[in-house]
Amino acid sequence: MSIRELTPEQARIQQRTGAVLIDVRQAHERAGGMAEGALGVEKEGLLADPAAWLPATDTQVVLICQSGKRSADAAAALQAAGYARLASVSGGTVAWRTAGLPLMQPLLDAGERDFYDRYSRHLLLPQVGEAGQRRLQRARVLVLGAGGLGAPALFYLAAAGVGHLRVVDDDTVERSNLHRQVIHTEAAVGTRKVDSARERLSALNPFIAVEAIAQRATADTIDALMEGVDVVLDGSDNFPLRYLLNDACIKHARPLVHAAIERFDGQVSVFDAGRHRGQVPCYRCLFPEPPPAEFAPNCAEAGVLGVLPGLAGVIQATEVLKLLLDAGQPLAGRLLRFDALAMRFRETRVAPDPECPLCAPGKAFPGYIDYAAFCASPH
């Protein structure tokens, strides 16, 4: 037997005469408004245990969704389960709204209302959805550096709803930073970068926690900085810190999202050997030894196009979100290089080194070293 379809006006009449109107959309969809008097029950939950909501199989039931398809499908499933008096609203809530029929807002506290409003576009993505967004909300990310790379990455991680951002930087804002470190403003010149970053991120998303740590990451402090984090984002500009982060992420089995920039060129990769030994490389597999200083000048020595760290930092933020959501294919085992002048991207495969002193299978963690001396000594 086919499912009877009602116009919104007909459904309203049925509701007034005793029919149970059920909105089978997901919670984030209902947060935008639902038919007045409707009972909100997600389709999957309703069909998993219909008796919990409709104890009598002869109950008159009208189902509504966004456009009419899900409600018709749910009605057909209920019919197969023995329910006899079923109907679906043609055109769903869209048609109900267009007809000017009354709507109501679900009872939500301020935090939940903000959640459904702020992340409404994420919630529509099957790869995210409410479960994924809640995962981001619980996530903790360590960002080393609130400069050129950290600035755009932090903005997008905060906007995306990563619940706890631990920002580490011992530097202060200088005017020369402002052409690329977009998280800082003229008013912040002379203040600590982590404080400036926390102020801007909290203004963007007051429902996340920003932990500002104004100190240098060293072999003595890195373990405490790593405590409880899910992913590490490398926003550093020097080789000693890159090697330190790599080694710490192997020790703590955490993924490291790396980027480096120079003049008009950049590179991004994910090093996840701590969790996948022998399957993907670590930073040392790619760079067993640091290059001589003259071949790797920093931005203060070589200069950098202001938008370049923005491009790299946004790619880093994308990789962090993918890792937290377990979505897509991370850049583990791949080095993405780009030339901004030619606007060309090139991907290079990077294999794990079976003899790597840090990440080779079966290797015990050798301990931290003097990274400044390691990077300064000739190899």
Domain co-membership, 146 together with 84: no
> Which residues lie below 8 Å from residue 58, measured CB to CB, with a gap of 6+?
84, 85
Choose the final residue of a domain: 58, 90, 107: 107
- What's the length of the chain? 379
Q: Determine, yes or no, domain membership for 117.
A: no
Can you tell me which residue has the tokens 């937290």? Answer: 324
Q: Determine, yes or no, domain membership for 241.
A: yes
Segment 3-56, tens digit of pLDDT: 999 999 999 999 999 999 999 999 889 988 999 999 999 999 999 999 999 999
**Residue 105: pLDDT above 90?**
no
Torsion of CA 314, 320, 321, 325, to 10 degrees: 160
Q: In the prediction, which pLDDT does 300 show?
A: 63
Domain co-membership, 241 together with 353: yes
Domain co-membership, 245 together with 159: yes
Q: Determine, yes or no, domain membership for 121.
A: no
Q: In the prediction, which pLDDT does 299 show?
A: 60
Q: Cα(79)–Cα(321) distance, rounded to whole angstroms?
A: 41
Q: Determine, yes or no, domain membership for 245.
A: yes
Q: In the prediction, which pLDDT does 295 show?
A: 53
Domain co-membership, 39 together with 160: no
Beta strands in 190-247 (DSSP E): 209-213, 231-234
Q: In the prediction, which pLDDT does 330 show?
A: 97
Contact 284, 360 (CB under 8 A): no
Q: Whole-model pTM above 0.75?
A: yes
Reference 74, options 45, 35, 34; nearest CA is 45
Contact 253, 275 (CB under 8 A): yes
Choose the final residue of a domain: 107, 131, 163: 107
Query: pLDDT band at 294, cuts 50/70/90?
Result: low
Contact 260, 238 (CB under 8 A): no
**Count of CB atoms situated within 10 Å of the CB of 108:** 15
Looking at every residue in the chain, the average pLDDT score rounds to 94
Tokens of 367: 């301990």
Domain co-membership, 98 together with 176: no
Q: In the prediction, which pLDDT does 376 show?
A: 83
Buried residues in 353-374 as b, exposed as e (16+ CB within 10 A): beebebbbeeeeeeebeebbee
Domain co-membership, 100 together with 147: no
Q: Determine, yes or no, domain membership for 304.
A: yes
Domain co-membership, 218 together with 348: yes
Domain co-membership, 288 together with 153: yes
Reference 319, options 254, 269, 252, 282; nearest CA is 269
Tally of domains in the chain: 2
User: What number is the average pLDDT over the span 290-296?
Assistant: 65
Domain co-membership, 206 together with 73: no
User: What number is the average pLDDT over the span 101-130?
Assistant: 91
Domain co-membership, 264 together with 328: yes
Q: Determine, yes or no, domain membership for 346.
A: yes
Q: Determine, yes or no, domain membership for 317.
A: yes
- Domain enclosing residue 63, as ranges: 4-107
Domain co-membership, 177 together with 320: yes
Choose the final residue of a domain: 60, 87, 107: 107
Task: Give me the phi and psi of 344, to 5 degrees please.
Answer: -120, 140
Domain co-membership, 102 together with 174: no
Distances from the Cα of 256 to the Cαs of 169, 243, 270, 284, in angstroms?
17, 11, 6, 12
- Percent of the chain beyond pLDDT 90? 89
**Residue 82: pLDDT above 80?**
yes
Segment 327-374, tens digit of pLDDT: 999 999 999 999 999 999 999 999 999 999 999 999 999 999 999 989
Q: Determine, yes or no, domain membership for 325.
A: yes
User: What number is the average pLDDT over the span 176-189?
Assistant: 95
Can you give the CATH number for the domain in which 183 is found? 3.40.50.720
Q: In the prediction, which pLDDT does 293 show?
A: 59
Distances from the Cα of 277 to the Cαs of 144, 233, 348, 351, in angstroms?
24, 20, 20, 11
Tokens of 139: 């996530």
**Residue 312: pLDDT above 70?**
yes
